[in-house]
Amino acid sequence: MNRPAAIAVLAVAGLLAAIQVGCGGTSDSDRSGSAGAGGVTRGTGGVPDTEHDTPCRSSTECEVVGTYCHPAGEPMCGQPCVARRGCESDEECGADEICHEIPWDRCCGWWDDPRPTLCVSRCAPGDCGDDAECIDGTCEPILCSEGTECPLFTECLPGDPDADPYGCRRLDCETDASCPDGYCVNSHCYDALGTCRIPST
């Protein structure tokens, strides 16, 4: 199973959490959702400024008042981060389901206790792809320090507060020179320029 497919398996709970947890959105990245499946950095939300769809490296390059520089591939967030608990125990879920605790969300980052929960299908060995393993019925990400390869323009820093559930953290930068064949957008490396957007409400 290739990486996008493996991430899709992991993201099933996260896509539901995006609706139920209260901080969801959509994403144009392979790594999306929650429950240990998400992307590398936290998004800030927004919609394209279709009239002035301007590439950017920082919000200072966005000439239209009220717009900001949205990095390519980041999720479309905007709703407040509210940890909603859809269940408290497996007994509250259906057959072959478990009550899954969401530790991380791509829009909201790492959750403090109490974390959001929801009922998800129980996994079996082999269900989680190459970058995760089935532990106690849940697909758990395999850390980059244990073999998972971090995406382009990220580094393996398990335990860093800005790292994703795989332990991958987006590279810091000051200029494009710090990002070979890439761009420095909002002080982080990306493979494309950002876009000036209007904040979502």
Band of residue 24 on the pLDDT scale cut at 50, 70, 90 = very low
Q: For the chain, what is the domain count?
A: 1
Closest among 111, 116, 113 to 88, alpha carbons compared: 116
The yes-or-no verdict on residue 13 having pLDDT over 70 is no
Q: What is the DSSP string of 157-191?
A: -TT-TTS-TTSEEEPB-SSGGGSTTSEEETTEEES
DSSP state, residue 91:
G
- Per-residue pLDDT of 126-163, as tens digits, reads 999 989 999 999 999 999 999 999 999 999 999 999 99
pLDDT score of 148: 94
Band of residue 123 on the pLDDT scale cut at 50, 70, 90 = very high
How many angstroms separate the CA atoms of 157 and 41, rounded?
Answer: 13
- Per-residue pLDDT of 63-106, as tens digits, reads 888 888 999 988 877 778 888 899 999 999 999 999 999 998 88
**Residue 164: which domain range?**
3-198
